[in-house]
Chain A
C-alpha cells in the first residue's frame, strides 16, 4: 500500500509539473479540463494535448488593436433594444417589487449612488438556515420604528410632556416588551425624561425655553425612533431556496447585517453597487456589477457574452472607485478634449479647454475620426519605431 501511494503521488507531481509549464500560456479552466480528460494517459500524450490546446488558445485570442469597446457596446446595445422598458419582478409577494429591465441596467452602468429599489439577499448560518427561530431572525433584521407600535400620541401642553400610547397587539407581534421599548426611547430621546407605564410611555421635556412648538417638532422625531432591527431595512421576506431559508429584504444595510451573529457573512449580498464598493472594496464592486447586469440580461431571456459585461465593469472600476458611464464618470477621465466633447455637452468642454489652453495629443480613436485621420485601431495601431544610434 505504501508503494501504491508513492506511485500515485509520483505520477501526480509529474502531471502537475507539466501543467505548471503551461500555466502562463493557458488559463486554469483549460488546464483543469485537460487534467480531467487525461487521467491515466502518458506524459507524451498530455504534452501533445497541451501543445495543441495552447495553439488553439493563441488563435482564439483577441488581436492587438481590436476595438473591443465598440464590440461590447454593440453586443450589449443590440439585445438592449429588445428589453422591456419597465418590468417589475415579483419576488413572492406583490408588495416587493424590484426594478429590472432597462431602467436597472441604466442605473448600474451610470454608477448611481442611490438606486431605486435597494434589496438584500441574506443567507443564514446553520441552524438558522434550516428555519430555526425564523421569526426572531426576521424581527431582528426588520427595522421597527416607534410609530409602528403606537396607537396614539397625546401632547400635554400644560406640563410639556408627550404621552405615547402603545398598542399591545403590535408589541406582541414584534416580540418586544415595554421595558425594552422604553430603554430604546430613553437612549434616542435626548432632553426628555422617559417613564414607562403599563401600556404607555410618558416623555417629559427637561427644559421649557423653546415653547410648545418644539414639542410638536420633537413628536415627529420621536415617531422615527428605532426600536429594534437594522436601520434601513423596511421589509423582510423569508423564502425557501433549495433546502435553506434566505431572507430577501427591501432596503439595504450591508455593514450592519453582516455584523449580525446569525448571518452568513460570506454569501449575503446587496444589490447596491456603491454600498458594496464602500463596505467590501472595489474588486467586490466589480464582481457585483457583472452579477447584477448579467442577472437582468438573463431574466429577459437575452444572451450576451459575459466578457462584454466584464469589460464594462473593468472600465468602471479602473480608477479604484466606481465611475458610471456618464459625462461625470469615465468620460470625464478621458485625456482628449475632443473625445470628451464628442460624448455630451460639447460646447462646455471645448470652451473650458480653450479657456485653459488644453492640448489634445490626438492619440485615441474619436478625435482622429473627427479630423479625418487614421485611427489607432486594428492595423492603424502599430507605428514604426527606430532606435537612434548615438
Chain B
C-alpha cells in the first residue's frame, strides 16, 4: 500500500535548481550583495534533498505567481 511520494511533484513546491559557481558570482555581482544577505534555505530542506547542496550554494527557485505569472527567487544554503 505504501509508495514513496515525490516532493517536487507537489503543487505547493516550486522548481528548485542549484546555481553553478559562475552563475552564483554573476547573481551576487548583479545585486551587489554577499551570500549572507540572500534569503536562506536550510541544507536539509526536503525540497532540495536531491540536489546535493553544501553550505554557501545558491538555490534558484522559479515560483508560479498570481501577480506576475512566474517569478524567480534565490536562497542561499545555510547549515541547520
Contacts and interface: CB of A to CB of B under 8 A. Distances in A.
B10 A28 contact: no
Interface string A141-179: 000000000000000000000000000000000000000
Interface string A268-303: 010000001011111110011000000000000000
Contacts of B6: 265
A32 interface: yes
A281 B47 contact: yes
15 contacts: A27-B65, A27-B71, A30-B68, A32-B69, A140-B1, A259-B5, A265-B5, A279-B46, A280-B12, A281-B45, A282-B41, A282-B75, A283-B12, A283-B16, A320-B39
Contacts of B2: 259-261
Interface size class of B (residues with CB under 8 A): 20 to 34
A321 B42 contact: yes
Nearest to A29: B69
A306 interface: yes
Interface in B25-71: 39-42, 45-48, 61, 63, 65-71
A11 B37 CA distance: 43
Contacts of B42: 282, 320-321
Given A280-B13, A284-B12, A320-B78, 9 more contacts: A27-B71, A28-B69, A29-B68, A258-B10, A259-B4, A260-B2, A265-B9, A310-B67, A320-B45
Contacts of B61: 283
Interface in A232-284: 258-261, 265-267, 269, 276, 278-284
B22 interface: no
B5 A28 contact: no
Nearest 10 Cβ contacts at the A-B interface? A281-B47, A29-B69, A27-B68, A28-B69, A284-B12, A320-B40, A265-B5, A28-B70, A258-B5, A320-B42
